[in-house]
C-alpha cells in the first residue's frame, strides 16, 4: 500500500512540475535589423537609421503607446542597425506595430516602413541613392 501511495505521489509531483515549468515560458525578444545598402548594393557604414511612428498614422487609442517609439542608431561595419522593441509587444496581440524608417547617408535620405512581427528578428534592407 505504501508503494502505491509513493508512486501516486511521485507521478503527481512530476505532473505538477511539468505544468509549472510550461507556464513560466519567457517571451522571446522582438528585434529589428535594418541593413543599409547603396545603389551599387554595397553596405553603407555610418548611415543614420531613425525608427519611429508617424503620429499622423495613428488611428486608435491603443496605438498611442506606439507614438512613444523613437530610436536612432548608426549602421555598424556590416551596414546594420539593430533595435530591440520587445517592450512594445503585448502578449496575445496579433502583431506589434508598423514603424517608419528613415535612413540618412551623406546628403541622401530614404524613407520606408516595416511591419513588426512579435518574438522574432524582423529584417529589412533599405537602399539609399
Q: Tell me, what CATH number does 62's domain have?
A: 2.60.40.10
State the distance between the two ends of the chain, measured CA to CA, in whole angstroms: 81
Spatial distance between the Cα atoms of 87 and 94, rounded to a whole number of angstroms:
15
Domain range for 86 is 27-127
Spatial distance between the Cα atoms of 36 and 124, rounded to a whole number of angstroms:
9
Residue 61: inside a domain? yes
Q: What's the pLDDT score for residue 122? A: 94
Q: What are phi and psi of 16, to 5 degrees?
A: -65, -40
Residue 11: inside a domain? no
Residue 15: inside a domain? no
Report if pTM > 0.75.
no
Residue 8: inside a domain? no
Q: What's the pLDDT score for residue 107? A: 94
What domain count does the chain have? Answer: 1
Q: What is the mean pLDDT of each run of 10 residues along the chain (129 residues)?
A: 67 64 68 96 97 64 54 96 83 72 95 91 95
Q: Report CA 65 to chain centroid distance, whole Å.
A: 15
Amino acid at each position: 500500500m505504501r508503494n502505491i501511495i509513493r508512486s501516486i505521489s511521485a507521478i503527481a509531483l512530476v505532473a505538477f512540475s511539468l505544468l509549472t515549468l510550461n507556464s513560466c515560458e519567457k517571451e522571446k525578444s522582438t528585434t529589428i535589423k535594418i541593413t543599409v545598402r547603396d545603389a551599387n548594393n554595397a553596405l553603407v557604414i555610418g548611415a543614420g537609421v531613425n525608427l519611429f511612428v508617424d503620429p499622423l498614422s495613428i488611428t486608435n487609442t491603443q496605438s498611442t503607446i506606439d507614438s512613444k517609439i523613437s530610436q536612432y542608431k548608426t549602421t555598424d561595419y556590416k551596414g546594420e542597425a539593430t533595435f530591440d522593441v520587445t517592450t512594445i509587444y503585448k502578449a496575445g496581440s496579433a502583431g506589434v506595430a508598423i514603424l517608419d524608417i528613415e535612413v540618412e547617408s551623406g546628403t541622401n535620405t530614404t524613407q520606408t516602413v516595416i511591419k513588426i512581427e512579435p518574438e522574432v528578428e524582423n529584417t529589412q534592407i533599405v537602399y539609399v541613392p
